[in-house]
Every structure is written in C-alpha cells, then in structure tokens.
Amino acid sequence: MPRKRVVITGIGTINPLGNNVAEYFCNLDRGISGSRIIDRLDTTFFATKFACQIPDYDPLRFPEAIDRKEIRRTDPFTQYAMIAAAEAVRDSRLDLETTDLKRIGVVVGSGVGGINTYTEEVKEYFESDRPRFSPFLVPKFITNIASGHIAIKYGFRGPNFGVSSACATSAHAILTAASQIQLGRADVMISGGTEAPISVPGLGGFNSAHALSTNNEEYQTASRPFDKTRDGFVMGEGAAILVVEEYEHALQRGATIYAEIAGFGMTCDAWHITAPREDGESAGDAMELALREAGLTPADVDYINAHGTSTPLGDLAELHAIKRVFGDDAYRVNISSTKSMTGHMMGAAGAVEALACIHAIRDGVIPPTINFQFEDEQIDYRLNLTLNEKQERKVRVALSNNFGFGGQNASLIFRAI
C-alpha cells in the first residue's frame, strides 16, 4: 500500500527570539542574538554567566494558553509547550467541535523536563525545618507531562506520550508523530519539543562537561558555529510545536499546508556518551536514510539547517558528513546554523529548527549563521555556510539535522507542496 503523506498545518513557538512565530521569523532574518546575562540564578561559582533566555518571561501574558491555577502546577518547560501549542492549534484552524478528538494525539519531547522544579524541591527539603515535598513534584518534572497537559486542555484522546533523546528529542518527536499517522493510528498529531534547562544543575553540569562556551566577555556573539574561536554551545530555552496532519485529511478541511514531512532518518554513533564520531559517518547515514525515504537525491536539497552547536568537534564532524553524503552538491546547497541566534535549545532544538526550515520554504529566506569572524583551517569555506547575512533563495526541499548525547542522530526532510 502507498504510504500516507504527512504535512504540517499549524506552527507555534516561544523562544529567545520571540514570543510567537512572526517575531521568531523576523529576528531570524535580522540575525539577532538571543544571548543574555543570566538573571534567574546566582552564577558566581560557574564559568558561564550567560544563556539564550526568553526575555521578561511572564506566563500571565499568555491567558489563552495557561491560567493562574495551571501556572502553579507546572514547570516552565510545560508552560512553554502550552504557549507554543496554543499558537499552533489556533494557526491550524482545526475545528475541535467537529473533529474526532480520538484521532488527534500529542507527542512532545523534552531532554531534562522539570529540572527547575526538581532542583527547588530538593533544595527546600534539605533546608527546611519541616522537610516535605509538594504533591505536584512528580507531575511537574516528568518529561511526558507537557504532552499530557496539552491533551487535557484540548481534549485530544489519541496517542499521547513523551520522547527524550537529548538534543535529538524534538526531531524524534516529530518523526514519531508522522509515523503514528502513517500507521493509521491518528489523523492529526500535535508534536515538537520544549526545554527550560537554565538552572543550577543545568549550568553546572554542562560546565563540568566542558560543553558550554565560557566567553563571558563576548556573550552576545559566543554562539559562533564554524568559527575558529568557537568554544562550546550557548544554552537556550523555549518550545516549538507543530500540527502534523495526514495529507488527505488536511485537504478535506481546507487547511493551510506549510510543508510535507517527506522523509526522516535515525541512526546511532555507538561511539561515545558525549562526543560525536569525528568522521560523522553515522550522522551522514541518517541524512542518507532521510533522502532515500523521501525519494530524493542530494541534488534536490536546497537548504540544510545544520545541528551546528558551535562546539569544536561537533561542527567539524557534521560538515564532514555533509560533504560525504552530498558530494559536489555540498557546494551548491545553503547551510546555516540558527543556533547561532537561538542558542542550543536542546530538547526543543529540532522543532524550533523545523520552523526555520518552514520559513525558508514558505518565504524563500535562508536564515544566517551569525557571529562568524575567523576562518578555521579545518573547515572548507567553499561550502555556503550563509555567514552573517540571510540569503534569498527559492527553497523546495530543506533538511534539518539534530544529534544528541549518547550518539543519537536524526535528520528530517521538509518539502514544499
């Protein structure tokens, strides 16, 4: 039987570049850095003092998404997901009165879940004269709870679960959602990722792993993928949610279609708990699998949204993989890392970067890789890395890469309809 086609019919986000999709796309095009000095916790004992924070975050500004009662019962990572989901569901124009809610599911991922809640509860337990835990502790920090809250809010009764695979999380969530539709288990899936990692253990743990940039003097430009002076990623936060829908179902209700999820590939490095394979072989395998599933060749791809975290090893490995898979076409395709602007949103990275691919397809704009200054002799700059300035280009096919600790690789291909 022919495989069911899967399309995207609604999008939403809150991230360091904007409280909605329009703001996000505008600031991508402008090449704005979301990096800021951390003002939520004491960074005295940490080597890194900055992150890509959502500025002036106040959940009360989003009454459509979350009310006062829910705010008290949810960690920020769940709040971000609900805010992005509210925009995406509204954008999709789903008629929830006539649509079979048993055929709508939710799969939203997070890498670290409610790490802020967990930290505060444990701290209070050990510092209090009368140690106790909140009855909301567990339902606030478990990683699947964002999916649960979204389903409860809208009454979605289809498949519902969370995905967690470090920085590949929301790419895995999106491809899993597409698979549920292809298997006939749902007509519509709400999918994406959310993360609120800016916390004492988040900052301290990644500093100890030597994964974060410590360039506090130049924090606004510290996320500098493909630059000789890159020294680690900049932590980011936020969420992005997509309404993923079976193609014929979308046509029948007259939905706006942003793009088709044409193919996806998943592999594992089976190499190291944090470092990538230096030759990028398994990352390349994921790209090849995605191309094969989509029935496309490297010559068909116009844009690659790179994982591009601004780490010395990771950026090199990914470019090696792209050159191996794409051959001469690697010099024709546009490549950029939007993490140079959003920071690394970890479990939300794949989803917010999927939106960047949709922007490229819909609006013909390749977001730039900002903050580039110095060439690295190990990098081939004949590749079009879209350095510092956006480029206009007709984009029919975009590929997005996301790779996580544990060697987990995911590549998604989005195609214009």
The residue ranges of every structural domain in the chain are 7-252, 263-415
Q: Which of 149, 172, 249, 307 is catalytic?
A: 307
Domain pair 7-252 / 263-415, same fold: yes
Q: Which of 320, 344, 357, 359 is catalytic?
A: 344
Catalytic residue at 26?
no
Euclidean distance between CA atoms 85 and 93, whole angstroms: 13
Strand, helix or coil at 213?
Answer: coil
Strand, helix or coil at 310?
Answer: coil
Name the pairing type of β-strands 397-404 and 408-415.
antiparallel
The topology under which CATH files domain 7-252 is: Peroxisomal Thiolase; Chain A, domain 1 (3.40.47)
pLDDT score for 131: 82
Taking domain 263-415, whether its CATH number is 3.40.47.10 is answered by yes
CB–CB of 110/347 below 8 Å?
A: yes
Which regions in the chain score pLDDT beneath 70?
Answer: 1
Residue with tokens 């944090």: 274
Distances 86 to 65, 94, 153 between C-alpha atoms, Å: 5, 12, 10
Q: Which of 167, 172, 357, 359 is catalytic?
A: 167
373 burial type by CB count under 10 A (0-12 exposed, 13-18 middle, 19+ buried)? exposed
Euclidean distance between CA atoms 414 and 417, whole angstroms: 10
State whether the Cα torsion 249-255-257-258 is positive or negative: negative
For residue 51, which of 219, 231, 194, 232 has the smallest C-alpha distance? 219
Please state the pTM of the whole predicted model.
Answer: 0.97
Catalytic residue at 149?
no
CB–CB of 125/133 below 8 Å?
A: yes
Cα 113 versus chain centre, distance: 14
> In this predicted model, what pLDDT tens digit does every residue of 127-168 receive, in sequence order?
988 889 999 999 999 999 999 999 999 999 999 999 999 999
Catalytic residue at 167?
yes
279 burial type by CB count under 10 A (0-12 exposed, 13-18 middle, 19+ buried)? middle
